[in-house]
Each structure stands twice: as structure tokens, then as C-alpha cells.
Amino acid sequence: MDNHGEGGRHHRGVASGGELHNMLNKWAAEIYVNQEDRRLVEEMFDAAHEFIEERQREVADEILAWRDATVEGWGKCCRRWRTA
């Protein structure tokens, strides 16, 4: 048996230049996809963070409105009770 073996390999387990080129292209494509995935994940995280901050402001406004309405309601109730 010569040193070229099957699939153009010179020695068992050593890739030919064409195989290395194909592997590098595949890895480059995977790296590009992973960078794109990372960008998409970062955008989703940023959007989620903005949503949470906006919802926190809305909830805080709702709590303050409830507090103000409750204080006003208790004030009216207490005035009626004191004048009765």
C-alpha cells in the first residue's frame, strides 16, 4: 500500500489540502453564524431589558396612583367619620 491511501490522504488521519480548505471554510461559516447569533441574542436581551424597564415605570406609576387614590379615599372617609 502506498502513502496516499483513500480519499487523497497522505497518511492515515492527516487531511489533504482540499479537506483542510473545506474544514476551514466550514469553521469560518460557523464563526460567522455564531457572531450573527450573538448579535441577535444581544439585540433580544436589549429589547427585553428595555421592556422590563418600561414595565417597571408603568407599575411604579400604577402603585403611586393607587397610593394617591387610597390616601385621598381614607382622607374623605376620616373627614366624614370625624364630622359624624
pLDDT of residue 33: 75
Residues of the chain with pLDDT under 70: 1-17, 77-84
pTM exceeds cut of 0.75: no
Which three cell numbers, joined as nine digits, stand for 48? 427585553
pLDDT of residue 62: 93
